[in-house]
Amino acid sequence: MPPFATSGQDFDKSGSSKSGSGKSGSDKPGSGPSLPRATFRFRCIGCGSLSESAAQDFRCSHCSNLLEITDPTWKSGSLNAAALKSLWRDRRSSRLPLDLSGVWRFRELLPTPQSEQPIITLREGNTPLYDLPQSSRITGVPRLFAKHQGMNPTGSFKDAGMTVAATFARQAGYRWVACASTGNTSASMAAYAARGGMRSLVLVPEGKISWSKLSQALDYGALTCQLRTDFDGCLRLLQELVRRAPIYQLNSINPFRLEGQKTLALELLEQLDWQTPDHIIVPGGNLGNSSAIGKALLEMLDLGLIPRLPKLSVIQAEGANALVRTLREAGGKHLVSVQAETRATAIRIGNPASWEKAVHVLQATGGACEQVSELEMAQAKAEIGAEGIGCEPASAVTLAGLKKLVARRFVKQDETVILVLTGNLLKDPDFTMEFHRGDLFQGAAREPENAKLDRFRHPPVVLDATLDAVIRTLEQAEKSDPPHPNV
């Protein structure tokens, strides 16, 4: 029998494979930190049914909707908000591997793997919260901050979810993990699989992901397949694959991923001394991250960790605006999928898997959903770069979206606003180079609009290697550039 001829493998909440083969031979049990017993359940977001195990596609066996993780003990009064805050703060001075992770430091609100299993961690989380003085001036919002998830080990927010889901994959005995990706998930998955002694399979749309992200997957040893389709096509194929083969899927359909990604909100609130911001603004692609942040906010409110909810808003690229259209045209009742096209390849997704979860958290927090043009996004990316921070194109939709939310007075200028920057500047150097060289938006129709961005461009200057040439260039720059607004 070929090794991948099995089907229908389930795993229970302890993570143990129920019918599976493919036990990892490279596990190193015994060295793990001690964890409490698992108490969580899988809950269907459609019919609400609870189960102790989930099928490989993480869909409800009754109504096919997506599953989420819930833990009755979180609500039972056993967790005290003040005690949790002080426990999490104290762990910041601990040297235990579990506490050095900015994800597992908040483990009371995460599903816990079996205590004898070591976690797979790269010290994810612990990402900075920056002020944005220039963007504050541009938007007129003085209390504007960026939570930079691009400062994670593989350069994107995916690592926070991957440490949890990869740990459960290994606990379930899987030898192979897999994902469909626009690049960041594959980079993160490949890294955590390598750390955990598992093999990884990456399905990416051919020609539509950045070389930086692809090269990460290659270096971390993934089996990388560039499929002649888009992200949505890759994800469809993965869904079929996991039904046929004992491969554990690490897309954000996997609810363990979202549990890890919840910690972004926990860490953010801790950095704000538990003072609730008014708005959190996040880019939307497959809509796992917004769902995870929203779930965290609702749980924090339930537990008394925060007294009120911030509004969680999602920004999409105009060319990949499935959630915008789902809310505007269908009132959030059914998905309006689109044929996605945008230079922000990370969010080039037309059929987002977690749209229902995202609609729920948007409605529960009172957030908005906006779309921005390619030019608005490119300008915002340059503005974030000019702060000395930088981010990848998909992350910059947050600042571009904020400008629109301020213009329509959904965000008031005296409110506290957090932009979630999801990926590092180095993730998409082609976009950055093309922008600065003026090659990004070609075509006559775009010329006048494109020219508006000239003041943000800093193309490299090629010179003879003489002191004179450098000094002349310096003098020209001094004359033409206004003084730096931060000084």
Give the binding site for ligand F0G (CB under 6 A): 156, 181-185, 252, 283-290, 346-347, 392, 394-395, 422-423
Residue among 40 and 231 whose Cβ is closer to ligand F0G: 231
Chain mean position to CA 224: 21
CB closer to ligand F0G out of 88 and 157: 157
Question: What is the C-alpha to C-alpha distance for residues 438 and 451, in angstroms, rounded to an integer?
Answer: 9
Which residues, at least 6 apart from 35, have a Cβ–Cβ distance to it below 8 Å? Answer: 98, 107, 112, 113, 114, 115
Q: Which is nearer to ligand F0G, 84 or 162 (CB)?
A: 162
Going by C-alpha positions, the residue among 275, 453, 258, 424 that lies closest to residue 354 is 258
Measured between alpha carbons, how far is 51 from 69 in angstroms, rounded to an integer?
10
In the complex, least distance from residue 383 CB atom to ligand F0G, rounded to whole angstroms: 17
Residue 78's φ and ψ, nearest 5 degrees, are -75, -15
Q: How many CB atoms are located within 10 Å of the residue 466 CB?
A: 9
- Residue 424 CB, nearest distance to ligand F0G (Å)? 9
Question: Based on CB atoms, which residue is closest to ligand F0G, 24 or 342?
Answer: 342
User: In angstroms, what is the minimal distance from the CB of 352 to ligand F0G?
Assistant: 7
The nearest distance, CB 213 to ligand F0G, in angstroms, is 7
Q: What's the closest the beta carbon of residue 374 comes to ligand F0G, in angstroms?
A: 16
**CB nearer to ligand F0G: pick between 182 and 379:** 182
Residue 230 or 383: the one with the smaller Cβ distance to ligand F0G is: 230
Nearest approach, Cβ of residue 468 and ligand F0G (Å): 43
Distance CA 190, CA 147 (A): 24
H/E stretch holding 430 reads helix 429-437
Report in angstroms how near the CB of residue 393 gets to ligand F0G at its nearest. Answer: 8
Q: Cα-flanking dihedrals φ and ψ of residue 312, to 5°? A: -105, 120
CA distances, 170 to each of 113, 138, 176, 223, 477 (Å): 10, 47, 9, 18, 55
User: Which CB sits closer to ligand F0G, 116 or 206?
Assistant: 206
On the CB side of 165, how many CA atoms lie within 13 Å of its CA? 33
DSSP helix/strand/coil, 279: strand
Residue 208 token pair:
């539509």
User: Nearer to ligand F0G by C-beta: 24 or 316?
Assistant: 316
* Shortest distance (Å) from residue 290 CB to ligand F0G: 6
